[in-house]
Structure 1
């Protein structure tokens, strides 16, 4: 059996994506958290300290309900990894943020990010990636829109936010919404 050039290209491209997802980078680690000491208590919740299972499940459930009720349903529920220690968090890359969302692969909640507003913020990014595409959300949409929406709609109680640029993003997003714009139709 012989494949045409486009079919071979598609197979090679799919293989490259699969190989990169399984490599020991952030995406690969989020896809296989058990290899890094986490226990998955469901398809969507994994954690390093199972004594905090109930807390993690409640944070997940409350954030998921909130985002889907207030914004839109997820196409696929996000997988969230909850790390309770810096050692666990650092396996996924050193970062000074409380959490990170990696495309639609999953969400990492670091040891200092176990807050409802942090989980909601990251689920907003997951929804943005689903709705607009990872490339569009990461590289083409304005940062004030992506981050501003996360901070404005997550219920983050910090005022001002910890870094001035984050507060500016939130303020600009709120001003943009006040002009009658809707989150589902991002600025071009």
Structure 2
């Protein structure tokens, strides 16, 4: 787990209370993924579960620091607005850094290391993250992302999707 610190300014804290942006749907989906226990907030335990599922093992102190950095309300959890701030702050990086992170994410999802994300790998990863997708859901997602009609997603397809979403999210 890499150690990072982010300074949150008063102006950024005010964003926690600002109206929802046009990217709310995507951010809400990500928030739902992190809110593993469906409490309406991301706790240190939720964050730990997600990070463990992708092979990271943060210490208790690292988890507490991550939550505390963006806990605008001071309640030890991250609500949706706070999560939006965390997401935008953490993902603001250069194109090269972003592409490197996309490559790392692809490697995590390509469990058999064959250069493709296959339906069973997507289903397994989502299961580890507490999201049980039906075969129909997986097929629909794969159809939306797979441009080559090969029932699997190449790195190029994954990178294109991630770069498009970065633009939509404004990162």
Same fold judged by TM-score > 0.5? no
Larger Rg: 1
Which one has a larger percent strand, Structure 1 or Structure 2? 1
Q: Give the TM-score of the pair, scaled to structure 2.
A: 0.31
Q: TM-score, normalised by structure 1?
A: 0.29
Structure ranking higher on relative contact order (CA contacts 8 Å, 6+ apart):
2
